Amino acid sequence: MPLRAIIFDAYGTLFDVYSMGVLAERLFPGQGKTLAEMWRDKQIEYTRLRTLSNTYKPFWEVTQDALVFCCRKLGLPLTLEAQNMMLGQYAKLQPFPESLEVLRELKGKGMRLAILSNGNPEMLDAVVESAGMKDVFHHVLSVDPVRKFKTAPEAYQLGTDVLGIPAKDVVFVSSNCWDICGAAWYGYPTFWVNRSGAPLEELGVTPHGEGTSLSDLRDFVRQRNEAAVPGSQ
């Protein structure tokens, strides 16, 4: 069977989350890069701990907690105004330059497109709207209804439940190798957008496809679907 749908991670995959560093640098000169990276790591750590321990909180709140922790750790004075600016930036994240064109082209070829993200619904709706992508996606899915963050299988299952397609006929796309592993363990074919040339995690998973941008995904999908239809080129 050819691939019939594509599920995308959001932050870091479609939207450039490290651009937060620019704002962070403006607010805390000399510390922006350190803060932005530590914040992202801590945010992910908190999603995992809260999922492991069944103490779910929406991503917005987890993200805020992580910011407060990181500023305390780095000794940076976090005013309410700065906090609101940093969190507010999440609604205005820029998509990677190729994102919109590739998405439109894939949709034009009949693929069903979805986002599946740790972000809570309000955050996702805001960033999708701001990036002009509202008409591109058939589904914008948050893990919020299952109250578990990735890589819990229940999170990935939201995709197959909503699409009504077996996991094997969907490709899951993420820039995070751990997310690729979680999706592969659930049963999706995977495409790793390895934007930074990171080494593969030692988790026993090899993605079905890999590239440096979403443009490479376009080629991957074409090749997979041509191979699935005998005689076509």
Supply the residues annotated as catalytic. 9
The whole-angstrom separation of Cα 70 and Cα 36 is 9
Distance between CA atoms of 180 and 185, rounded to whole angstroms?
A: 8
Rounded to the nearest whole angstrom, what is the least distance from the CB of residue 204 to a copy of itself in the complex? 8
Classified as helix, coil or strand, 115 is strand
- Rounded least distance, CB 119 to a copy of itself, Å: 18
Nearer to a copy of itself, 72 or 109 (CB): 72
**Shortest distance, CB of residue 178 to a copy of itself, whole angstroms?**
6
Nearer to a copy of itself, 22 or 203 (CB): 203
At its nearest, how many Å lie between a copy of itself and the CB of residue 233? 38
**Residue 96 exposed, middle or buried by CB count within 10 Å (0-12, 13-18, 19+):** buried
Task: Count how many Cα atoms sit within 13 Å of the Cα of residue 144 in the half-sphere of its side chain.
Answer: 14
Q: Alpha-carbon distance 190 to 168, whole Å?
A: 10
Residue numbers at the binding site for a copy of itself (CB under 8 A): 45-46, 48-55, 65-66, 68-69, 72-73, 150-153, 178, 181-182, 185-186, 198-199, 201-204
Nearer CB in complex with a copy of itself: 69/126 = 69
Cβ at position 55, least distance to a copy of itself in Å? 6
3-state helix, strand, coil in the chain (%, to 5): 55, 10, 35
Name, in order, each residue with C-beta under 8 angstroms of 227's C-beta and a sequence gap of 6 or more: none
CB 96 within 8 A of CB 14: yes
CA-nearest of 7, 9, 10 to 171 is 7
Residue 198 or 229 with smaller CB distance to a copy of itself: 198
CB closer to a copy of itself out of 103 and 183: 183
